[in-house]
């Protein structure tokens, strides 16, 4: 099984994934961003883009990597990864379904003021990339994302509480 932690940048997916992994026996964290980093390392480089998710190989490589890891390890993969484009989510989720891999899709949510404060608190200068995605997240949440996944409002929860909420919904 895959426990996919979605949500905008700065909502706490990476922190939560490590905590969720501790609560689920036989689980590992697989950050699909590493697949994107591998693609970014190709020299002289793939066509220019502002987001590696736009490269067509990224999505099937995420599916194939997750499938291979699960075939090798069994258990559960906890995957913290923002996917805000519905067609990309469909490609990934349908690819996993073709391999009979169950996915529990969670969206970690916080109100915009909380997100801005979290992003600003991460580094001396707030990440323009992360801030730019707040509007994209709001649009995805409004149009498809919140209907597609189990929403966990993290606004007033600590990371430990968020992880416990996710694990509790899984029955762990």
What values do phi and psi take at 88, rounded to 5?
-70, -40
Residues pairing with 77 in the sheet: 2, 28
The pTM score is 0.93
Using CA atoms, how far residue 59 sits from 32, 54, 97, 135, 171, in Å, is 9, 9, 14, 23, 29
How sure is the predictor about 124, in pLDDT bands with cuts at 50, 70 and 90? low
The CATH number of the domain holding residue 132 is: 3.40.50.300
Higher per-residue pLDDT: 68 or 172: 68
How sure is the predictor about 126, in pLDDT bands with cuts at 50, 70 and 90? low
pLDDT single digits (tens) 40-72? 999 999 999 999 999 999 999 999 999 999 999
- Provide the domain count of the chain: 1
For a pLDDT cut of 70, what percent of the chain falls above it? 97
**Interatomic CA distance for residues 39 and 41, integer angstroms:** 5
Containing domain of residue 75, as a range?
2-170
């Amino acid at each position: 099984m895959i426990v996919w932690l979605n949500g905008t940048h700065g909502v706490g997916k990476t922190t939560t994934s490590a905590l969720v992994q501790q609560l689920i026996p036989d689980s590992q964290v697989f950050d699909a961003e590493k697949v994107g980093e591998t693609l970014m390392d190709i020299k002289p480089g793939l066509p220019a883009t502002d987001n590696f998710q736009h490269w067509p190989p990224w999505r099937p490589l995420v599916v194939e990597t997750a499938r291979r890891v699960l075939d090798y390890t069994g258990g559960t993969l906890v995957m913290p990864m923002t996917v805000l484009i519905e067609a990309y989510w469909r490609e990934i989720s349908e690819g996993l379904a073709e391999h009979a891999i169950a996915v529990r899709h969670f969206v970690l949510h916080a109100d915009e003021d909380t997100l801005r404060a979290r992003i600003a608190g991460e580094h001396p200068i707030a990440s323009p990339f992360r801030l730019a995605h707040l509007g994209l997240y709001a649009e995805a949440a409004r149009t498809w994302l919140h209907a597609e996944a189990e929403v966990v409002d993290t606004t007033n929860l600590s990371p430990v509480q968020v992880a416990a909420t996710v694990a509790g919904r899984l029955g762990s």
